[in-house]
Copies of this chain bind each other. A is one copy, B any other.
Amino acid sequence: MSEARKIAETAIADVVNDLRGIVGAAHVFTGASDMSAYLTDWTKHYFGMAIAVVRPADVQQVSAIVKLCGAAGIAIVPQGGNTGLAGGGVPSAARPSIVLSLSRMTTIRELHEAGRTVVAEAGVVLEILKDHASAHGLLFPLSFGAKGSCTIGGNLATNAGGSNVVRYGNTGELCLGIEAVLPDGSIFNGLTGLRKDNTGYDLKDLLIGAEGTLGIITAAVFKLSPQPLTQVTAFLSMASVDAALHALNLIQDRTGQSVEAFEYLPQPVLSAIGKAFPALKSPLQGPVETGVLLEVGSSRVSDARTDEAGANHLTSELLILFEELMESGDMIDAVVAQSEQQRADLWHMRESVLESIMAYGPSYHFDISLPLARISGFLEAMDASAAALGFETLTIGHLGDGNLHYALVSQDQDTWNALPLEEAKARAFDLLKQLNGSFSAEHGIGQSKLDVMRALKEPAQLDAMRAIKRALDPQDIMNPGRLIPTAE
Contacts and interface: CB of A to CB of B under 8 A. Distances in A.
A484 B200 contact: yes
Contact of A197 (B199, B254, B440, B468): B440
Nearest to A313: B302
Given A206-B206, A245-B114, A197 B438 contact: yes
B472 A467 contact: yes
Nearest to A173: B173
Copy number in this complex?
2
A246 B114 contact: yes
Interface stretch (A45-53, A340-348, A411-419, A455-463): A455-463
A303 interface: yes
Contacts of A148: none
Contacts of A256: 255-256, 258, 298-300, 303
Nearest to A189: B458
A131 interface: no
B471 A468 contact: yes
Nearest to A457: B199
Contacts of A369: 194-197
Contacts of A317: 300, 302
Interface residues of A, number: 95
A443 interface: yes
Interface string A191-206: 1111111111111011
A483 interface: yes
Contacts of A245: 114
A437 interface: yes
Interface string A208-228: 111000100000000001100
Contacts of A182: 460, 464
Contact of A200 (B203, B373, B437, B465): B465
A114 B372 contact: yes
A366 interface: no
Interface of A: 112, 114-117, 158-159, 161, 165, 170, 172-173, 182, 186-203, 205-206, 208-210, 214, 225-226, 242, 245-246, 249, 252-258, 298-303, 313, 317, 369-373, 398, 400-403, 436-445, 453, 457-465, 467-468, 470-472, 483-484
